[in-house]
Amino acid sequence: MTRARFSKSFTQQPPIPEEGIEAAVAVMRSGRLHRYNRAPGEASEVMKLEREYAQWQGTRYCLAVASGGQAMQIALRAAGVKPGDRVLTNAFTLAPVPGAIAAVGGEPVLVEITEDLVLDLEALAANVAQSGARYLLLSHMRGHLCDMDRLMEIAIAHGVTVIEDCAHTMGARWNGRLSGSFGLAGCFSTQTYKHMNSGEGGLLTSDNAEFMARATILSGSYMLYESHGAGPAPETYDAIRLETPNMSARMDNLRAAILRPQLRQLEQGIAAWNARYDLVAERLARSPAIRLPHRPPAEFHVGSSIQFRVPGIALAEAQALIARLAEAGVEVKWFGADKPKGFTSDHRSWHYIAAQDLPQTDAVLADLFDMRLPLTFSLEDCALLADHILDAVESIRIRVGA
């Protein structure tokens, strides 16, 4: 049977809501694009976004910044990371994560991941003891949450400060608690391919006043920190303001204006992503050759992408699988390729950090595949995509469990 070729784009996001377009036009008409350029008594769009995001995230403070990567760099620095400090992070994550550690002069210590794509907590405990690292930049990579209760136990027991990279988990929860609210800080991205789209952008959340005051000055607040929507009290800055460098990574009112209506629609978007994810997952689970990561009941995830493994797949077979899917118009990323394509999530292509031996992670990446599920795909589209994957896996005749 020949199936219809899939013809939609895997990188096409829905348009910005009309309300956001109107708000953006109003900002442009006002001429006041800079976040600190306010008419007397006016709350800027960035201030309003910070207030609304803090409320949505259930945190005391929120700082809007220029990107998710900047949110992580600022968080690491504000948490006290100094050049030469070791910072633990997932061996499987996206390049801006080790990049943020490198940007503050830290030394990334990569921690093995499990078959379910989360940080291996046994390995973490061993790594903490061995490396003496006191910081963990925890990446909830591809939307998978590790056992956050256990992770925080380990962190607290060893005095490790946790900063969460929530680029793929905006709206995800562990035992009902939102990702980003376990550690000292949560870092979010509003770059086009994440859960809200302002082209570029980031949000940093925390309940810690002193941390947030430092982060605010680092983000480039000059001495205008009173023009923040969800920042700490002005006196928090007294001991910090002249000791903290300005690193200019602000968000502007235009981006905030287009994000605010998206935040109001976020719950709806999450439900739509999960309907797509569940449909594809249910179909892929029909193949005995495909293994989906286990999703524990404590985890509430946001299914904006799906990962699956084909255990035992050989290199040539994986290449054939990708090629066949590409012919069918299905863009599937394979993490076992020896050269990075499009984006890098393989620690072996981060030559700026010391090479580390990670056999467990390498074995998982060798048979790991990934597909985006943008909201411009209908449920019918998702069914077609899953069927193409099933056909392709079948066609290369994977030796199941052999």
Residues of span 114-153 touching ligand PLP by CB under 6 A: 139, 141
For ligand PLP, the closer CB: 92 or 308: 92
Alpha helix (H) residue ranges in 265-312: 266-284
**Residue in this structure with the two tokens 């800055």, named with its chain if needed:** 237
Q: Which stretch in 20-28, 76-84, 93-101, 378-386 sits in contact with ligand PLP by CB under 6 A? A: 93-101
Minimum distance, C-beta of residue 387 to ligand PLP, in the bound complex (Å): 28
CA distance 350 to 348: 6
Phi, psi (degrees; rounded to nearest 5) at 92? -115, 105
The string over 188-223, giving b where at least 16 C-beta atoms fall within 10 Å of a residue's C-beta and e elsewhere, is bbbbebbbbbbebbbbbbbebbebbbbbbbbbbbee
Examine the residue annotation and report whether 341 is marked as an active-site residue of this protein. no
Minimum distance, C-beta of residue 46 to ligand PLP, in the bound complex (Å): 16
Minimum distance, C-beta of residue 87 to ligand PLP, in the bound complex (Å): 14
Residues of span 214-273 touching ligand PLP by CB under 6 A: none
Taking the CA of residue 142 as centre, how many other CA atoms within 13 Å lie in the half-sphere pointing to its CB? 24
Q: Which stretch in 164-172, 280-288, 305-313, 367-375 sits in contact with ligand PLP by CB under 6 A? A: 164-172
For ligand PLP, the closer CB: 312 or 340: 340
CA distance 190 to 68: 7
Q: What angle do CA 183, 234, 202 make, to 5 degrees?
A: 45
For ligand PLP, the closer CB: 167 or 272: 167
The string over 296-333, giving b where at least 16 C-beta atoms fall within 10 Å of a residue's C-beta and e elsewhere, is eeebbbbbbbbbbbbbebeeebbeebbebbeebbbbbb
What is the size of the binding site for ligand PLP (CB under 6 A)? 15
Minimum distance, C-beta of residue 77 to ligand PLP, in the bound complex (Å): 15
Q: Which stretch in 91-99, 148-156, 170-178, 314-322 sits in contact with ligand PLP by CB under 6 A? A: 91-99
Q: Does 76 bind ligand PLP (CB under 6 A)?
A: no
**Residue in this structure with the two tokens 């023009």, named with its chain if needed:** 227
Minimum distance, C-beta of residue 204 to ligand PLP, in the bound complex (Å): 12
CA distance 271 to 394: 31
Judged by CB under 6 A, the residue of 20, 45, 87, 96 near ligand PLP is 96
CA distance 108 to 355: 10
Distance of CA 359 to the CA centre of its chain: 24
CA distance 247 to 245: 6
Residues of span 318-357 touching ligand PLP by CB under 6 A: none
CA distance 105 to 202: 21
In the three-class reduction of DSSP (H, G, I as helix; E, B as strand; rest coil), residue 281 is classed as helix
For ligand PLP, the closer CB: 95 or 337: 95
Q: Which stretch in 5-13, 88-96, 178-186, 378-386 sits in contact with ligand PLP by CB under 6 A? A: 88-96
Q: Does 94 bind ligand PLP (CB under 6 A)?
A: yes
Q: Does 68 bind ligand PLP (CB under 6 A)?
A: yes
Residue 312 near residue 399, CB atoms below 8 Å: yes
Selecting among 194, 333, 339, 341, the annotated active-site residue is: 194
Judged by CB under 6 A, the residue of 23, 47, 62, 69 near ligand PLP is 69
Q: Does 202 bind ligand PLP (CB under 6 A)?
A: yes
For ligand PLP, the closer CB: 63 or 313: 63
For ligand PLP, the closer CB: 117 or 124: 117
Q: Does 67 bind ligand PLP (CB under 6 A)?
A: yes
Q: Does 111 bind ligand PLP (CB under 6 A)?
A: no
Residue 171 near residue 327, CB atoms below 8 Å: no
CA distance 121 to 147: 8
Q: Does 189 bind ligand PLP (CB under 6 A)?
A: yes
Q: Which residue is nearest to ligand PLP (CB)?
A: 68
CA distance 22 to 333: 36
Judged by CB under 6 A, the residue of 93, 114, 253, 305 near ligand PLP is 93
Residues serving a catalytic function are 194
Residues that bind ligand PLP (CB under 6 A): 67-69, 93-94, 96-97, 139, 141, 165, 167-168, 189, 191, 202
